[in-house]
Amino acid sequence: MASGGEVISNKQVLFKNFVEGFPKESDMVVKTSSISLKVEGSNAVVVKNLYLSCDPRMRHHMMKGKDPGFVSFKPGSPLEGFGVAKVVDSGHPEFKKGDLVWGTVGWEEYSVIKNPAESLFKIHHTDVPLSYYTGILGMPGLTAWAGLYEVCAPKKGECVYISAASGAVGQLVGQFAKLIGCYVVGSAGSKEKVEILKNKLGFDDAFNYKEEHDLDAALKRHFPEGIDIYFENVGGKMLDAVLLNMRLHGRIVVCGMISQYNLNQPEGVHNLMNIAYKRVHMMGLIVFDYFPQYSEFLEAVLPLIREGKIVYLEDIAEGLENAPAALVGLFSGRNVGKQVVVVARE
Ligand code: NAP
């Protein structure tokens, strides 16, 4: 057991070098260094990391400063991402030893957080699994909530389509849409995921996009009268097919385009004129814009979990050694549900 002031070993997942194409496990290496558990300098905190979140956005940080708004990971330093942690020492007046927090941490056993008030939220509700703060109660949950309710403003009876529907964000979008009486169809990349969407997550229907040679025909089969709301997670050919199937005054929220993240040259989209023909509103979403609404979101979603009105599927990888494989697996659909890495269980 480590106590404040002690210097102890700190296992880390280090980023090796900038990535082209699909990320590989060998783009990261697990090494052990040491860390002082005593805060040096005021305002910082030292945290013990418990759960780490694997997010597709981390792929952008693996590139050399290409995307505006994304700070590249530093070669030779730990990856960074969202996680749940416990404060072991604090020089910040708002945080004390023992506090549970979620926010941006390093991929390592212990992290020094220099500006905790800017990068960490305190966790006050612990009657739900702590790992949920990487998913349903963290960044992906807020993304689903804001993208559906704030951006798309769904109405009862509307037809909602979600791609990457069984993942961290998609599974929630579908359940949120069902709660207000929408007709919800999702797509995912395996038979197992399709069964989960229909039988565990309460989607009205689902299909395996990898088995569909004609995505346009698949969408026409599921939405004979068209799509009112498309929650876009994958981009590419799927977006092209969706554009052909949007209804008049439909809404598309562009949350992500994971099918494009590992391509050197993004695919083109051919059916954009449908946006005009059908007066479609197509809007971009960046979850960080909604962080000021986090408390409101939490108040809305916690009761849904407690009352069993919403469920959340997690895919748990044990230990930092398995973190590189877990992260890389997002890009081949290996994860079933929210991909979490357990570093320690308190
Ligand atoms: P996730 O769905 O839990 O995991 C990624 C999934 O994407 C995989 O399991 C896989 O599922 C699917 N996928 C991977 N490669 C694909 C490809 N080439 N074509 C189609 N599907 C592919 O991830 P998530 O965290 O929920 O994120 C979903 C999307 O939301 C991502 O695009 C992410 O970048 C975006 N996002 C955006 C924001 C924002 O602020 N805008 C915030 C959070 C997430 P299948 O088995 O179904 O293929």
Helix, coil or strand: residue 306:
helix
Residue 289 CB neighbours (<10 A): 11
The CATH superfamily of 7-135+313-342 is Medium-chain alcohol dehydrogenases, catalytic domain (3.90.180.10)
342 with 318: CB under 8 angstroms? Answer: yes
**Nearest CA, atom 39, ligand 1:** 286
CA of 3 to the centre of ligand 1 (A): 39
- Phi, psi (degrees; rounded to nearest 5) at 224: -60, -25
Task: Give the integer Cα–Cα distance in Å for 136 and 145.
Answer: 10
Residue 244 CB neighbours (<10 A): 16
Task: Give the integer Cα–Cα distance in Å for 304 and 343.
Answer: 28
Task: Give the integer Cα–Cα distance in Å for 290 and 139.
Answer: 10
Residue 65 confidence (pLDDT): 78
139-288 under CATH 3.40.50.720, yes or no: yes
Helix, coil or strand: residue 81:
strand
How would you classify the pairing of strands 45-53 and 110-113?
A: antiparallel
Which tokens in the block code for residue 201? 């997550």
Task: Give the integer Cα–Cα distance in Å for 258 and 269.
Answer: 15
126 with 87: CB under 8 angstroms? Answer: no
**Nearest CA, atom 28, ligand 1:** 233
Q: In what order do the strands lie in the sheet with 205-208?
A: 205-208, 183-188, 159-162, 227-232, 246-254, 281-284
Residue 2 confidence (pLDDT): 44
Q: Which atom, in ligand 1's list, is nearest to the CA of 236?
A: 19
CA of 30 to the centre of ligand 1 (A): 25
Query: Which of 111, 153, 164, 120 is CA-nearest to residue 139?
Result: 120
- Domain ranges in the chain are 7-135+313-342, 139-288
**pLDDT tens series, the chain, 346 aa:** 444 468 999 999 999 999 999 999 999 999 999 999 999 777 999 999 999 999 999 999 999 876 777 889 999 999 999 999 999 999 999 999 999 999 999 999 999 999 999 999 999 999 999 999 999 999 999 999 999 999 999 999 999 999 999 999 999 999 999 999 999 999 999 999 999 999 999 999 999 999 999 999 999 999 999 999 999 999 999 999 999 999 999 999 999 999 999 999 999 999 999 999 999 999 999 999 999 999 999 999 999 999 999 999 999 999 999 999 999 999 999 999 999 999 999 7
CA of 251 to the centre of ligand 1 (A): 19
Q: Nearest 5 degrees, angle CA 39-CA 45-CA 48?
A: 100
CA of 76 to the centre of ligand 1 (A): 27
